[in-house]
Amino acid sequence: MERYFVACDAGGTMTDVIVVDEQGHSVIGKAPTSPADESIGYMESLEEAMEQLGIDPRLNGRDYGRQFETAIYTGTSMLNTVINMSGAKTGLLVTKGFEDIIAQGRGSQTFIGAQWSEITHMQYRKHRVPLVPRQLARGVTERIDMFGQPVIPIYEHEVEEGVRQLLVDEGCEVIAIVFLHSYTNAAHEERAAEIAREVMAKVGREVIIELSSQVAPTAREVSRANATVIQAYASNTARRQLLRIEEELGKVGYPHSLKTVLGYGGITNIRYPRLFEAAMSGPVGGLMGAKYLSTVIGEDNIVCSDVGGTSFDAGAITAGVLPIDREPGFQDMYVNVPMLGITSIGAGTGTYIRLDPQTNRIKLGPDSAGGTPGPTFLEAGNTTPTINDANLLLGILNEENYLGGKLKVNKQVSYDLFKEKIADPLGMDVYVAAETCLDILNVMMREHLVRSLMVGHDLRDYVLLGYGGAGPMHMLGYAGDHPWKAVVTVPHAGAFSAWGGACMDYSHRRHKSVATMLTPDLDDAMKVAYLQPLNLAWDALEEELMTELSGEGFAKEQISTTRVVYMKYLGQLDDIEVTSPVTRIDTADDMRALVKAYEEQYTKMFTLVAKPDVGAYQVTEVCVVAKVNTVKPKLRKHELASKTPDSTAFKGKRPVFQHGAWHDADIWRMEDLKPGNEIDGLSVIEASNTTLFVPREWHVRIDEHDIYWLERKDA
């Protein structure tokens, strides 16, 4: 019986499901995202994919799920819970004097993701609505110092009274406990949890308790508090969405549990207790897919760019190292949870196009029509033009091929609304105005890559990878004239993030703050002694992870672990992740091996001019990654066909508006193109889930792995 991998990426606009067989063949299903019940969009896109495999889910395929080796979900369920403020009513026990820690937050949280012009003007800054309002916070007298020593004992009667008030008077459904410096010594938090359970037994109400020392045992108090509150507030609400998907999969015979993707690129069961680590699972699959792709094309430096309907997400793999952000911004909060370093702006095909009433200039987004109501041409209630309306008007999108022709498109509606709301007020031709909007969007995305993500890096060292449903349509626009080493995309770009989810291992990771340094005045014996906190933290984290994965059904011999440090030169601001070449630091040789690994990694990532002369180092954090290898999809190697595509791949010609005039473009069917084929622009290559637009200045070459290399004709 054929076995399949199923992976899903539920974005803000579309839900993509990719089904991959054991030989590496894949099919893609696509449906509008359904935030109220994500199982609807999931199953609709899954059923479309199965139909492409010759299985009709509505007739004879009700048990087709038994052929699935695994099913993976990435998406927006927890994000939606936070955005919609629809999580559990959460109470907070915190060190007395810090009751405002969530409501006040950090000053820099008020401009997360803002442009410099907005950061410098106070009127643009805003505090988000706190997940835990001030009236649901209770202070407790206690203090652990930064070295883990209790300096003020915990006032147990204050814990008892605070818990009673939160349970009885406030009706809280979850309690988060966040005490200062608990990452160095969790004794006070653990005692507070014991007292809370005693109070629950007395009042006859049992609620979930989350401890910051278990959720995020790392420094930076506000970020640790935010992470703990998100876990308490949103994880169980989001889990219900995931369980609904698993329930629907069970109805078609899927015998296993649903898996989800963690923000740092691991896969776990949806019953994983620290589910808040999956809050940003959506864009992660793209970077993990790119990491796997890099091993195929032999490139260690890849810029990943994902264009969807709602956002433009970007991240950079440098020297083969995935970017880990240990204090990312999430919904205007900094959180102590490791996530792949992905930056986003509100720019996608659903981005609204308006005129600024003050300046009468074109203004794009940042809000979006999403999958519902979608572009105006769907006639689903939206009357504000979007980027996809412009793509349709310019001939780039095929009105007969939107979502493979499943949805009816009314091009005249796009024309009439764009003329009324954009072109006429500007005194411009409709098509010139539409092309101007695309140019502005491409500049926004280009600037986000070049002026933000890639500051300090040489673009000539990096391959630009475009994916997402609209990545191939826009990538040559935002690639621009910049000297990228290469520009590539893949035929399954529309579900690349979902495909990347299937490329991951089943893995968990844990972090813990440490504080130690090595200076030139220390002899080898003292340096080894100073590094002993690494051994203690590594051992504790590894024991925790082995227990956790064993509890999920894995044998200990299946589990491998990797030990990681975060180091920097003393005095520099940013540390980097370094995989330790040794499992313990017991000898001078172990110490020197660790320092050598750090210096080699630093040299790959930065210029030599950044390296100081004095050999002083600081270790700020350690991490253990535990993983179980999984079977992954393959990028098969094909024999190359001729440069000229088969005549069956040619669909004809269509007028496309470019550079202020109409031109006849060659239209190609992507499914009929073969490795070895080459195509000149001006061309449009169409698939049911994506469109690759090739301007006149560009050329396409398909390699033996079915990867599309886009090259300038004058290169």
Q: Are 65 and 263 in contact (CB under 8 A)?
A: no
Q: Which long-range contacts (CB under 8 A, 24 or more apart) does 50-59 make?
A: 50/19, 52/27, 52/28, 53/19, 53/27, 57/252
Q: What is the location of CATH 3.30.420.40 in the chain?
A: 4-81+238-278
Determine contact, residues 485/461, Cβ cutoff 8 Å.
Answer: yes
Tell me, what's the pLDDT at 532? 95
C-alpha–C-alpha distance, residues 217 and 182, integer Å = 7
Q: Residue 312: name the closest of 284, 282, 351, 345 by CA.
A: 345
State the alpha helices, DSSP H only, in 419-518. Answer: 424-426, 430-447, 471-479, 496-501
What backbone torsions phi and psi does residue 188 show, to the nearest 5 degrees? -65, -40
Computed from CA positions of residues 414, 415, 416, 417, in that sequence, does the dihedral angle turn out positive or negative? positive
Q: How many residues are listed for the chain in this entry?
A: 715
The pair of three-digit structure tokens given for residue 597, joined into one six-digit string: 């690994």
- Alpha-carbon distance values, 689 to 14, 471, 649 (Å): 10, 11, 17
What averages of pLDDT result for each successive group of 10 residues across the chain (715 residues)?
81 81 78 84 89 75 80 79 86 96 88 75 82 95 93 97 96 96 94 97 94 90 94 89 92 88 84 83 83 90 90 89 83 86 85 92 86 85 94 93 80 95 95 96 92 86 93 94 94 84 82 90 94 95 91 86 94 89 96 94 79 86 89 81 94 95 96 95 90 95 95 84
Q: Under a CB-based contact definition with an 8 Å cutoff, are residues 385 and 417 in contact?
A: yes
DSSP states of 689-704: S-EEEE-TTEEEEE-T
- Taking residue 330's Cβ as centre, other Cβ atoms within 10 Å add up to 22
Strand, helix or coil at 616?
Answer: coil
Specify which residues 561 forms β-bridges with: 626
What confidence score (pLDDT) does residue 387 get? 95
**DSSP conformation class of 128:** P
Helix boundaries (H) for 59-155: 77-83, 101-104, 116-119
Task: Write out the H or E segment, with its range, that includes residue 412.
Answer: helix 411-418
The β-bridge relationship of strands 150-152 and 143-144 is: antiparallel
Cα separation of 305 and 308, whole Å? 10
Distances (CA, A) of 278 to 13, 273, 500: 19, 11, 15
Tokens of 491: 């035929």
For residue 549, give every residue at least 6 positions away whose Cβ sits within 8 Å of its Cβ, in sequence order, or none.
Answer: 508, 559, 626, 628
Residue with tokens 């269509």, as numbered in its chain: 654
Q: What is the pLDDT of residue 393?
A: 96
SS3 681: coil
pLDDT of residue 321: 83
Helices and strands in the chain, H and E counts: 18, 34
Class for the domain spanning 4-81+238-278: alpha beta
Q: For the chain, how are helix, strand and coil distributed in percent, rounded to 5?
A: 35, 25, 40
154 and 188 Cβ atoms separated by less than 8 Å: yes
CA of 451: how far to CAs of 204, 328, 448, 482, in Å?
A: 57, 19, 6, 12
Report the distance separating Cα 417 and Cα 427, nearest Å.
15
Cross-strand partners of 626: 508, 561
Give the Cβ contact number of residue 676 at 10 Å. Answer: 17
684 strand-pairing partners = 667, 693
Element (H, E) at 415: helix 411-418
Contacts of 355 (CB under 8 A, 6+ apart): 361, 362, 363, 421, 422, 425, 426
- Rounded to whole angstroms, the Cα distance separating 156 from 188 reads 10
Cα dihedral sign, 72-45-234-345: positive
Q: From CA 525, how far away is CA 522, in angstroms rounded?
A: 8
pLDDT for res 548 = 85
Task: Give, in degrees to the nearest 5, the angle at Cα 215 between 214 and 221.
Answer: 100
Using CA atoms, how far apart are residues 50 and 47, in angstroms rounded to an integer? 5
**Two structure tokens written together for 309:** 């309907």
CA triple 364-368-371, angle to 5 deg: 145
In terms of C-beta density within 10 A (0-12 exposed, 13-18 middle, 19 or more buried), how is residue 155 classed? middle
Global pTM? 0.80
- Helix (H), strand (E), coil (C) string for 315-331: EEEECCECCEECCCEEC
The pLDDT value recorded for residue 1 is 63
**Residue 505's closest CA among 632, 340, 339?**
632
